[in-house]
Amino acid sequence: MTRVRRGYIARRRRRKIRLFASSFRGAHSRLTRTATQQKIRAL
């Protein structure tokens, strides 16, 4: 059996968050966890 590489759907979800937060400064646009928090605060 072939090895399953994880995270296709998770990667798509994170990429969507990163695109939303791309204009934020510093780590808020680079790190997924802080970008998610900033997205919630921005809305």
In a domain, 3, yes or no: no
Residue 41: the pLDDT is 94
What DSSP state is assigned to residue 24? S
In a domain, 37, yes or no: yes
- Report yes or no on 2 lying in a domain: no
Query: So what's the pLDDT on residue 16?
Result: 94
Predicted confidence at residue 1, as pLDDT, reads 82
Q: What is the pLDDT of residue 12?
A: 94
The predicted pLDDT at position 33 comes to 94
Range of the domain at 30: 8-42
**Total Cβ atoms within 10 A of residue 32:** 14
pLDDT in single tens digits along all 43 residues of the chain: 888 888 899 999 999 999 999 999 999 999 999 999 999 999 8
pTM reported for the whole predicted model: 0.72
Domain count, the chain: 1
